[in-house]
Chains A and B, each alone.
Chain A
Amino acid sequence: MTELSQAQRTWRNPLFAWDSAQEVEQLPTASYVSHQEIWERTRSSRTELFKVGRLRYYHKWAGHGQSTWRRSRYWPTRRRVLRIRGEYNDKSLRREKTIVDKRPIWWVVGLMVLALVPLITPERLENTLLTAGVTFGIYAAINLCWMLVIGTASIFSLATYAIVGTAAFMTAYASTMFGLPWWLLPPLGAIIGLIFGGIIALPATRLDGFYYALLTLGLNELCRVYFVTSKEFGSATGGLYGAATYLPQDWSSTGQLQLAYYACFTLMLLALLLYRFINGRQLGRILRIAPEKREAFAEATGVDFRQARVRVFLISSVGLGFIGGFYSANYGGVAFSIFSFDTVLLGLAMLVIGGIGRAEGAVVGTLIVVFFDKVLITLGPIRLIIIGLIMLFVVLYLRNGLFGIKQQFRTWRDKKKSERRSTRAEKGGEMLPEEATEARNPDDVYRRRYDKMQREFLKKLVTPEVINEHRRAPQGQHSESLERLLIYFRNQPQPDKYAISALQSTNGYRIVALSGHRGVAPRVVEDKIYRSPVEAYHGVFLRRVQDLLES
């Protein structure tokens, strides 16, 4: 570069012969630079290669063009079993199918494994595992209803176990006192749950967020104290037992356990169905438009989110009451421990570990916690410490539980990627590899690359002589270097291109930048007012040169 600009040449003006008054005969100018040389230098690759791309792997299933519109649906509805996207491959021109949402497959596999557990457990673990399985089924059902309250209705209620416990105690009491059969207990529990839920839903309409959480925590404690101290509910025996149970007494203990396991499993399936029907349909959709702190918007669009929340709360209270009735029919009674603070804590741990707002989070979180709490029962208090540590870890490091990991990891990776990208990006440079993989039209990549090489070349032509030449005569015949620069500048696209606006009031000229959009006025670039068009032309030239050198 330096040697090129040092070796100066003169430029002889061909127009001098005709109009010697206005034109000069010769001017110093930059020497000729071979663009071939620049081209060679630019072509030689010095670029560091980075691993880029954000493709997610999807298996492509074969599809036939004839079966494009053949789809399997859940029978009475128009809902499809799997969300499948069909497309034609651009390269192979074959029809392909992609399963967009694989969660139904995971659900089916997981539930089938759970259904097969009693058949495949080894003999000596059967008792422990099936007892834990019974607890799991009931707790998963409770947590699914709770998830409806916390996740869907975003009411942070901690009185879930109070509802379950009250329903269980009342039904057990009714069964022992009036001899109700076992199949009446869950419906009775549902009615009790509705009444109890109705009572505690009253303050929910007035209080928000944490005020309600603390209140319900207190309510839970209130229930505990009431039931523990009252004689009718067996304050002496640590619980109320002797309710009717659906387990036939003449069966073997293994058979009873297996029956209980499948009954609780069915209960969990029912709760899943309830979750699906509330969260995935009208109520859930209404509430999804009104998340916490954005209620005002929902209200403005005419969504009555308060009523929807209370309805979800009441429905899940009915569900919880039903589960409470089932609880006492399953165990033949209920212990006070259902009201204890640790039960609430463990329940919350189950929700938090799985991730709030997802059915799979409730089920898997319950599985993990029940595994530690009931299967590893020989560990003593350590098992609860382990659960607490998992809970603490999840809360400190994960944004939304185990099932939020995928999303959180992607967000983190994108953040890191854009940080790294920003260290390498340059103004007016080539497309970065990451951008290039996302560019719709590959031509753009090459256009940017060519443009960059052209700029590299043009930068070398900017010398004081060239600028002086332009100051003398912005228009007319120019030396080769200046002509190349001007052609490049003139060919730039319209948006943000510099222009000159003539001011009527002061009889001056000002530099503006075009918006590139019809009807949008150009923006003023600088305050300086030029006296003559020639000066203004040169001002524009200087700005463009500066922009070129900066890029």
Chain B
Amino acid sequence: MEAKKWHREYLERYQRLKEAGLPFFPNTVFKDTLVAFVIFALLAYLAWTKGAVLEEPADPTDNTYNPRPEWYFLFLFQALKLFPGHLEAVAAVVLPGMIVLGFILVPFLDRGPRRHPLTRPLGLGLGVVGLGVYCFLTWKGYSSPLTNPIVEKDPVILAGRRLYRDLKCSYCHKVSGKGGTAGPELDKVAGEETEAWLISHFKNPQQMSPGSTMPVLNLLDDEITSLVAYMKSFGVGSYTPEAPKLFAENCSACHMINKQGGDSGPDLSLIGSARDKNFLKKYVEDPSQMNPSSAMPGFQGQLTDTQIDDIARYLATLGQ
């Protein structure tokens, strides 16, 4: 019953403090009003001088737009970069969930009579560290380019996926094991074809695959681009035996795969679950274009296009 005792003592002491205090009006009201005026002045200044930006109308087919989150969410996007591959998807939900749960639990975990921060080192420590981490991640997120797979799902691929659905391709084709059986399983075969082949195939299936029962879809060029991008996004698992050798010769001095290799660059054992082949290819060609703070040299010119493509295919399978 110790807890009850301090509860009662607190209420009595609070009653005394309250009676010795000043009335809400005009004392507190004065301070509140003053603050309100300052805030309104600041708001009005920002509204008048900066206003609110209105960008171009939303274009769901635009494949170049890369949205940045509001600054107060930047920390989350930065934090997600710490989680590899599929873990990131979980973290995207779990992390905010844990923050909210933490908020809810605060009054139930910290129940003693002590209130001053200096008498609650744990509470103070957690608060300061939490705030510090928040500020640090926000700053990191602000100063680094956005390289977040959830954000950076290529919109062309998304558009392709939408078209795939709208055109009811899954009546005949399987992707991720779902769909019909009349046509081939696309995620097994389509990624291996060249873009040119896929484009021609979408224009006239019978010309590329004689005997195919696939209808001519009369697609617009944009639509074909999207669908090809979607098909190419499956493009994993078709690297040559050459690729791991190329990796060992050119990359493993800095990068580790399954504990083999150097550690001056990131461990790539799970990279395929976070990046698709095209991203990896561009990155290997010229890292600075994807991530200005990268210390990695570009391999465009060092290796042939086919070799880089091969390595990217190989990397894209890791962790899948």
| Binding partners A and B | no
